Amino acid sequence: MDTNKNIEANSSSFDDIEEKIHANQVLYDQLHQSLVDESIAQVDEDERSGRHSASEISDTETIFSRLSNYYQANELFRYAIWGFGAVFLATTILTIIEYPLFSGSVKDDVGDGFMFGGSEPNWLDTFFHTFWWAVVTFTTVGYGDVSPETHLGKFLTIIIMILNLGIVTMLTGAVSSVLVAARLKGDDKLDETKFHGHLIIAGWNPAVQSALRLVEANEDSTSVVILINETEEEIIKRAISGFDRLDITHLSENFTQEGVLKKAYIEECGTFMIVPDESGLLPNEKPDEDKTVLTALTAKSILEDIQVVAYILDEEYISHLHRANVNEIVFPDEHIPHMLAKHVTDPGVPQLFDELITQEKQDKGIQVVPIPKGLVGLTHNKVSAYYKFKHKWLLVGYAIKKAGFSLEDQMGESGSPIIRDMIKEQLDGAGIKLSSDEHVIVEINPDDEYVIDGKHKALVLR
Partner 1 sequence: MSVSASQIQKINYFSKVPEKLCSEIAEAVIEEKCSPGTVLLKEGEAGDTMLLIFQGQVEVSKNMMVKASSGFTMSTKSIIRLETTDPAPSNDPITQPTVSVVKAPAFGIGEFSLVLDDAKRTSHVTAMTDVKYGILSLEHFSRIVDKNPSIGGTVYFEVAKSAVNNLATATQDISNLTQAFFFALTK
Residues of the shown chain interacting with partner 1 in the complex, contacts defined by CB under 8 A: 323, 407, 410-411, 414-420, 422-423, 426-427, 429-430, 432-434
Nearest CB to partner 1, comparing residues 337 and 429: 429
Give least dist CB 166 to partner 1, A.
Answer: 56
Tell me which amino acid residue 238 is.
Answer: R
Give least dist CB 355 to partner 1, A.
Answer: 39
Give least dist CB 326 to partner 1, A.
Answer: 14
- Rounded CA separation 365/461 (Å): 5
Give least dist CB 322 to partner 1, A.
Answer: 8
Give least dist CB 414 to partner 1, A.
Answer: 4
Nearest CB to partner 1, comparing residues 94 and 293: 293
Nearest CB to partner 1, comparing residues 363 and 428: 428
Give least dist CB 427 to partner 1, A.
Answer: 6
Collect all residues with Cβ–Cβ distance below 8 Å to 287 and sequence separation of at least 6.
Answer: 203, 205, 276, 277, 278, 281, 313
- Rounded CA separation 386/374 (Å): 11
Nearest CB to partner 1, comparing residues 303 and 411: 411
- Rounded CA separation 222/211 (Å): 13
Give Rg (Cα) of the chain: 35
Give least dist CB 10 to partner 1, A.
Answer: 56
Residue 298 near residue 290 (C-beta atoms within 8 A): no
Nearest CB to partner 1, comparing residues 333 and 425: 425
Contacts of residues 206-211 at CB distance under 8 Å and 24 or more positions apart, as own/partner, are: 206/278, 207/275, 207/311, 208/239, 208/275, 209/239, 209/240, 211/273
Beta bridge partners of 399: 442, 457
Nearest CB to partner 1, comparing residues 182 and 411: 411
- Rounded CA separation 306/351 (Å): 35
Residue 388 near residue 395 (C-beta atoms within 8 A): yes
Nearest CB to partner 1, comparing residues 8 and 304: 304
Strand bridging mode 224-228 / 199-202? parallel
